[in-house]
Amino acid sequence: MTGLKTRVRRVDAAALAEAADLLRAGGLVAFPTETVYGLGADATNSEAVERLYAVKGRPAFNPLIVHVADLASARALAIFDPLAERLATAFWPGPLTLVLPQSPGCPVAKQAMAGLPTIALRVPASAEAQALLRAFGGALVAPSANLSGHVSPTLAAHVRADLDGLVPLVLDGGAAMVGVESSIVACLHGAPALLRPGGLSGEAIEAALSHPLTRERQERGAQRAPTAPGQLQSHYAPRARLRTEASRLEPGEALLAFGPSPLPGAEAAVATLNLSPQSNLEEAAANLFAFLRRLDASGVTMIAVMPIPSTGLGEAINDRLRRAAAPRPAPHAFTGSTP
């Protein structure tokens, strides 16, 4: 994997054609979606899927999301019950992933589902992701384009920071609009379950279903292979430690602020970024990962985070912050010059 030069290209017709060729040859291409940047591979090519796990350093038991251009393509891969139909019709394309039973003869490589009988499907909304799926002409597995356990990328520069020299091409579509990963809903037996809060609010999903979602809040250790494997406890971790729900700033800490009111002690902050001075949760979600990376890059050892309401996208924001603050099972194996 050494000697590979990573090129970052603005999304245009020539870049899309190059990306589609690379993907057809079993290569990996990072690309923007409306949630976060994904690392794409041909979903039907087992070797490409295995390479993807290896490059990310992702455990083989953690399955991938399969991205398709539209609902018609999704129907070939999974079985939609009436509630799944309703959610897909209401929210695709968009930041929603559905976990469904695989269709008989589903052509997706088994490694992508990590041996589960289910499949996670998403139809991304961003023009760049749609254009790539159409240029490629098939399904793409695409986990977030970061090293396993690190903060998801919302800029092409974040992808390069994690994966430089490991992937040949990063398509640059600017900042991801939503900024947190898709919401994952399982429609398997009866009541739909929210496996991961994300870029589509729980309230919006419940309104479409006309009844409450089951919430599977597994705070599991990394040792155990989960049934919803994305729910590993320590995930989305920056290098600095995080302290959530801070009611005052301690000496030496950096501050991740939210809203207009100053936090006691904030004048002494080593560095400060405000997710949304006007307390707008969409803006806070869009800023979250980039701000965590920026505070981390300033070399601080502790980031204090102000309380954030858990309504709307606040549920996803607080979920990511809790995971980032969770105890780490082992030191991260990042590449590059940093220890």
Binding site for Mg ion (CB under 5 A): 144
Burial of 134-170, coded b for 16+ CB within 10 Å and e otherwise, reads ebbebbbbbbbbbbbbbbbbbbbebbbbbbeebbbbb
Which one, of 132, 58, 136, lies nearest residue 93 by Cα? Answer: 132
Rounded least distance, CB 177 to ligand TXA, Å:
12
Assess 62 for contact with ligand TXA (CB under 6 A).
yes
49's enclosing H/E stretch is: helix 46-56
Nearest-angstrom CA–CA distance, 116 and 103: 13
Q: Whole-angstrom Cα distance, residue 35 to residue 33?
A: 5
Site mask, ligand TXA, residues 38-57, x = CB under 6 A? x-------------------
Give the nearer residue to Mg ion in terms of CB position, either 101 or 199: 199
Nearer to ligand TXA, 119 or 303 (CB): 119
Per-residue x/- mask for ligand TXA, residues 180 to 199, rule CB under 6 A?
A: -xx-x----------xx---
Closest approach of Mg ion to the CB of residue 60, in Å: 15
The pair of structure tokens assigned to 136 is: 């490629």
Contacting range for ligand TXA; rule: CB under 6 A; set: 1-9, 18-26, 112-120, 201-209: 112-120
C-alpha separations of 317 from 9, 87, 301, 312 in Å: 30, 22, 21, 9
Q: Whole-number minimum distance, CB 7 to Mg ion, in Å?
A: 23
Cβ-based nearer residue to ligand TXA, 113 or 256: 113
Please give the Cα distance from 308 to 289 (Å, whole number).
15
**Residue 158, amino acid:** H
Q: Which does 276 bind (CB under 5 to 8 A by kind): ligand TXA, Mg ion, none?
A: none
**Which is closer to ligand TXA, CB of 184 or CB of 255?**
184
Please say which residue, 88 or 120, places its beta carbon nearer to ligand TXA: 120
> Closest separation between CB of residue 188 and ligand TXA, Å?
9
Rounded to the nearest whole angstrom, what is the least distance from the CB of residue 231 to Mg ion in the complex? Answer: 11
The residues, ordered by sequence, that sit 6+ positions from 82 with a Cβ below 8 Å of its Cβ are: none
∠ Cα 319 321 93 (to 5°): 50
Query: Which position's Cβ is nearest Mg ion?
Result: 144
Please choose which of ligand TXA, Mg ion, none residue 52 contacts, taking the beta carbon within 5 to 8 angstroms, the exact cut-off set by kind.
none
φ and ψ at residue 28, rounded to 5 degrees = -110, 135
> Measured from the CB atom, is 144 or 318 closer to Mg ion?
144
Burial of 291 (0-12, 13-18, 19+ CB in 10 A): buried
144 binds ligand TXA (CB under 6 A): yes
Shortest Cβ 8–ligand TXA spacing (Å)? 17
Q: Is 130 in the site for ligand TXA (CB under 6 A)?
A: no
* Residues in CB range of 207: below 8 A, 6 or more apart: none
Contact positions vs ligand TXA (CB under 6 A): 33, 35-36, 38, 62-65, 97, 99, 113, 116, 118-120, 122, 124, 142-144, 181-182, 184, 195-196, 228-230
